Chains A and B, each alone.
Chain A
Amino acid sequence: DTGVSQDPRHKITKRGQNVTFRCDPISEHNRLYWYRQTLGQGPEFLTYFQNEAQLEKSRLLSDRFSAERPKGSFSTLEIQRTEQGDSAMYLCASSLLQGKEAEAFFGQGTRLTVV
């Protein structure tokens, strides 16, 4: 399968703990996006990378959130000192830089539950 891969699929953590999620995009895709989705809502943009450069961050991305894409391939999203309000589905997507750059293909998501 050459789609977007996310790991883990589910994560339950205690409030105050740090968590890290991984995303492996489609191999030839230059752009990688992180979105957050809460129940009954559409995905909300968090940040995106073009190759290894982080080009845009949403105001939703507080200081406790950090994302990296060190070699322009896989990406990690870390949440420090988790809060109950961080409970959500975290979605990763990737797209080509040129041409159909709007066509973002999503992974299956990581469901985070903070207890």
Chain B
Amino acid sequence: GQQLNQSPQSMFIQEGEDVSMNCTSSSIFNTWLWYKQDPGEGPVLLIALYKAGELTSNGRLTAQFGITRKDSFLNISASIPSDVGIYFCAGQVSGSRLTFGEGTQLTVNP
């Protein structure tokens, strides 16, 4: 089945640093999404990408839909303590299920 490989698995950074994480797949997706999940809570949608090559920003977050349709990255600029959490990429082929990566655990040291 489809699998998403997300890297890195974890990151430890200082407050104020920029962060970059990515997601790759062996198969094509038509939509890429990025979610953030806090402990004991459901994932919260951050950014959705619909076109190959698309670059979209949401505040300090920027994400891109890879031209090959097999990858995506998420950047966080000027990190703050509340950015701590697990970030998941998710891909959708069409119409139904999302396939999720295994997540990147982000720790921000004040």
Contact of B98 among A45, A55, A107, A108 (CB under 8 A): A45
A44–B97 Cα distance when bound, in Å, is 9
- Give the complex CA separation of A30 and B6 in angstroms: 30
Most chain B CB neighbours (cut-off 10 Å) among A41, A44, A103: A103
Q: A42-B88, A42-B103 are in contact. Are A104 and B41 (CB under 8 A)?
A: no
B102–A42 contact, CB under 8 A?
A: yes
> How many interface residues does B have (CB within 8 Å)?
25
Interface residues of A in 58-115 (CB under 8 A from B): 58, 91, 93, 100-109, 111
Query: Complex formed: what's the CA distance from A114 to B35 in Å?
Result: 28
In the complex, the answer to whether A55 meets B41 with C-beta atoms within 8 Å is no
Query: Shortest CB–CB separation between residue B48 and chain A, in angstroms?
Result: 5
Residues of B within 8 A of A (CB): 4, 6, 31, 33, 35, 40-45, 48, 50, 88, 90, 92, 95-103
Chain A to chain B: the 6 pairs with minimum beta-carbon distance, closest first: A42-B100, A106-B42, A45-B97, A102-B31, A102-B92, A109-B42
Write the residues of chain A forming the contact surface with B, with a CB cutoff of 8 angstroms.
4, 6, 33, 40-45, 48, 55-56, 58, 91, 93, 100-109, 111
Q: Known contacts A6-B42, A56-B97; can you find 11 more A-B pairs with CB under 8 A? A: A43-B98, A43-B100, A45-B97, A48-B97, A55-B96, A58-B97, A91-B42, A100-B48, A102-B92, A102-B98, A109-B40
